[in-house]
Amino acid sequence: MDDADRADAEVERLTQQALANRKRSSMPICGRCYGCGEPIAGRLFHDADCRDEYQRRQDSRARNGR
Q: Where are the domains of the chain?
A: 28-66
Query: CA angle, 10 as apex, 9 and 14 as ends, to 5°?
Result: 120
| Whole-angstrom distance, CA of residue 47 vs CA of residue 63 | 25
Q: What is the pLDDT of residue 1?
A: 81
Phi, then psi, of 39 in degrees rounded to 5: -60, 140
2-61: pLDDT as tens digits = 999 999 999 999 999 988 887 777 889 999 999 999 999 999 999 999 999 999 999 999
Say if residue 66's pLDDT is above 80: no
Tell whether pTM > 0.85: no
CB 42 within 8 A of CB 24: no
Question: What amino acid is encoded at 63 in this protein?
Answer: R
| Whole-angstrom distance, CA of residue 53 vs CA of residue 8 | 39
